Amino acid sequence: MLLMRIGTGMRRWVGRVAVICGLAAAAAPCSASGATWSAQTVPGLSGPPNAALTGVSCVSATFCMALGASDFGFDHLGINLRGPIAASSDRWDGATWSLVPFTSAGPSPTLASLSCTSPTFCVAVGSTNTIGRQSLIGTIPGHSPKSRAVVQVWNGTTWKAQATPLTAVRGSALSGVSCVSSQFCIAVGSIGLENARVLRFNGHGWKLLTLPFVKWGPTLAAISCLTTNFCTAVGSYDTKVTGVADLHPLAERWNGRHWSVAKPPAERDVFHGKPYLNFSWLTSVSCPSRTSCLATGLAMRTQNIYPQGGYAVRWDGHRWSTATTGLSRTSPLNGVSCAAANDCYAGGQFDPRTVTTPPHQAPLIMHWASGRWARETLPAVATMTNLVWSENNLLVPNLFGISCVLQIGCTAVGAQPQGTHSAPLALSDLPLTVPVG
């Protein structure tokens, strides 16, 4: 029996499965990539309001794991944490999402990133004692003097906390992780806001790796590992040792023995030919091959911190270059995932504003192909009422994480308005599967 996935508009092949767009009368229109995105129902923790999904990792059409948290304190006064933050996870089985609680990870935990290699192995990282904008998007970990780095490991049945060399270090937080197998993972983060740290997992425990010295204040936000001897981590560094920060993109590469530093090009001021003051930095990276990595992040294009816009750079095996063609100047990108070198998707927030008001935000997914970005057509989600908060323009709705599987599809997660609060949001481009013949 042939299984046909029905979408609309264009035809694309997913393995031996044909996607034929334009045949389903009630289906949504296809995006430029041929994808048909749909919203999925995701359960959240009962009790505390203001839930969000902060990361996702998919290994097949029938297994994804997403990170979540409740009571971030989204309200009309801005970020105003009203109580302890509770972390949770949701598991996708090909048909529905189900809630999978984390074990106790300490007070007010937020888990910012995860990586799964199979349905029986995932690693999630973050920190306790969350404050402010603790890594909703992994940009800059929300350190506090009391924060502690957290690692949780999924064994197919439950999550279990693991100790690391940073577990007892005050001010530590982890914001990114990538696993090649259950015997190799690398997690990145920092102590405070300016001291990057890297941990390696060998299947039994975690070990700190030595990083090259970077001037000044290096922070690593995300990592992508292709093999045990090819990993790329991205973040930012400060060009000034004192005074007002001037962040620029940072990339560091692992060859199996040591790390090397690269400094991708910063956002350029088209009027003055200089990098923008405050700032451009990288928050996510995906490497489908040794000669192809795509890293996305944020750039501030005005003297005011609002709005932030998307920024991207590409690695071709020799050097980093800008990859911003097609990006909106006022719509930030939070996560990226590449199924192939010329097939990448980034999630974030569409923001048409050039000033701080009025708010008209929407979830944003951009598709990278043939050297440029194109905006995907997404289903409508809940609109904002009086849910307004201004910390770094992270108004909901927003997509904070995305994960793509070669020849299958992608899932993006984030938050959407629910009255005066927020609720989990998941969008997938896996079309409906129906028997034919």
Over the stretch 187-220, which tens digit does the pLDDT of each residue have?
999 987 678 999 999 999 999 999 999 988 899 9
Q: Looking at residue 329, what is its pLDDT?
A: 79
- Tell me the residue ranges of DSSP E strands in 61-203: 63-70, 74-75, 78-79, 86-92, 97-101, 110-118, 121-127, 149-154, 159-162, 172-181, 184-191, 196-201
Q: Looking at residue 71, what is its pLDDT?
A: 64
Q: How confident is the model at residue 353 (pLDDT cuts 50, 70, 90)?
A: low
Over the stretch 40-54, which tens digit does the pLDDT of each residue have?
988 876 655 678 888
The side-by-side arrangement of strands in the sheet containing 86-92 is: 52-60, 63-70, 86-92, 97-101
Over the stretch 360-392, which tens digit does the pLDDT of each residue have?
778 999 999 999 999 999 998 876 655 444 443
Q: Looking at residue 395, what is its pLDDT?
A: 63
The rounded Cα 68 to chain-centroid distance in angstroms is 12
Q: Where are the domains of the chain?
A: 40-430
Question: How many helices (H) and strands (E) are present in the chain, helices listed first?
Answer: 0, 34
Rounded to an integer, the average pLDDT of 101-109 is 74
Integer Cα distance of 428 and 105 in angstroms: 29
Is the confidence at residue 410, as pLDDT, over 50?
Answer: yes
Q: Looking at residue 59, what is its pLDDT?
A: 94
The percent of residues above 90 in pLDDT, for the chain, comes to 47
398 or 7: which leads in pLDDT? 398
CATH of region 40-430: 2.120.10.70
Integer Cα distance of 46 and 166 in angstroms: 31
Q: How confident is the model at residue 296 (pLDDT cuts 50, 70, 90)?
A: very high
Is the confidence at residue 80, as pLDDT, over 80?
Answer: no
Is the confidence at residue 407, as pLDDT, over 70?
Answer: yes
Rounded to 5 degrees, what angle do the CA atoms 414, 416, 418 make? 145
392 or 256: which leads in pLDDT? 256
Integer Cα distance of 357 and 388 in angstroms: 11
Q: Which residues have C-beta within 8 Å of that of residue 79, sequence separation ≥ 6? A: 72, 73, 132, 133, 389, 391
Q: Looking at residue 108, what is its pLDDT?
A: 72
**What mean pLDDT, rounded, does the chain reach?**
79
Strand partners, 97: 92
